[in-house]
């Protein structure tokens, strides 16, 4: 099943495809066809700088959409390169634009987008915290430690080593519980 709000679109608006590592889904300057929902695999969006530097714009992960803004644009403004093989669903630009006439879709889109913006803002505030221990604590309070510590560390823009050390310090300070290997909870 597609994530909200794209589950509300008619099935004719979707087109599944498998992708192989190295594939380019689109290139900067190409006419936009729509947005994508990544089911499995990894995709990078990147732009090329004036001196040939590859600047990664976004790393799409399973279950998330990307290139949403292309729906409102004539041309893609970056390249989409498949890093790991997988599958995805392309969602037709015109179908999305048309769906905005449906208030249910429009509200679902708005809701989803507003939540995403909120989540991004919060992550950015947390990542702005300099001390690893404070950052990790904030991350836990924000509920970011749901999966593995390795994933958590990546979200906090810390190495996993620094994250483990901060977690241990927090446990020793009595601010966090470590009931079992790999699980940490607020006291």
Question: What is the binding site for a second copy (CB under 8 A)?
Answer: 47, 49-51, 53, 55-59, 68-69, 71-72, 97, 100-101, 103, 106-107, 109-111, 113-118, 120-128, 137-138, 141-142, 157, 175, 186-187
Q: Which of 159, 173, 185, 186 binds DNA (CB under 7 A)?
A: 159
Pick the closer one to a second copy by CB: 22 or 143. Answer: 143
178 forms part of the interface with DNA (CB under 7 A): yes
Q: Which stretch binds DNA (CB under 7 A): 48-56, 57-65, 68-76, 161-169?
A: 161-169
In residues, how long is the chain?
187
185 forms part of the interface with DNA (CB under 7 A): no
CB of 64 to DNA, least distance (A): 18
181 forms part of the interface with DNA (CB under 7 A): yes
Cα–Cα separations (whole angstroms), residue 175 to 137, 168, 171: 8, 10, 6
Helix (H) or strand (E) holding 88: strand 79-92
CA 81 – CA 77 distance, rounded (Å): 13
For residues 141, 143, 146 and 149, what is the CA-based torsion angle, rounded to 10 degrees?
-40
Q: Which residues of 151-171 are buried (b: 16+ CB within 10 A; e: fewer)?
A: ebbebbebeeeebeebbeebe
Helices (H) and strands (E) in the chain — how many of each? 5, 8
* 1 interface partner picked from DNA, a second copy, none, CB below 5 to 8 A per type: none
149 forms part of the interface with DNA (CB under 7 A): yes
Residues of this chain that interact with DNA (CB under 7 A) are 130-133, 148-150, 157-162, 164-168, 178, 181-182
């Amino acid at each position: 099943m597609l994530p909200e709000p794209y589950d509300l679109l008619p099935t004719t608006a979707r087109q599944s495809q498998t992708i192989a590592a190295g594939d380019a889904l689109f290139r900067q300057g190409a006419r936009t066809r729509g947005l994508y929902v990544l089911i499995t695999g990894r995709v990078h969006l990147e732009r090329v700088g004036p001196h040939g530097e590859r600047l990664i714009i976004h790393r799409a992960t399973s279950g998330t959409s990307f290139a949403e803004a292309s729906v409102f644009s004539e041309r893609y403004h970056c390249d989409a390169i498949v890093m790991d093989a997988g599958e995805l669903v392309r969602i037709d630009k015109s179908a999305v634009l048309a769906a905005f006439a449906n208030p249910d879709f429009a509200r679902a889109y708005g809701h989803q987008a507003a939540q995403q913006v909120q989540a991004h803002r919060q992550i950015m505030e947390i990542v702005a915290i300099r001390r690893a221990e404070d950052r990790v604590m904030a991350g836990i309070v924000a509920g970011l430690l749901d999966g593995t510590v390795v994933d958590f560390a990546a979200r906090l823009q810390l190495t996993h080593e620094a994250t483990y050390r901060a977690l241990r310090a927090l446990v020793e300070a009595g601010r966090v519980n470590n009931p079992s290997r790999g699980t940490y909870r607020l006291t």
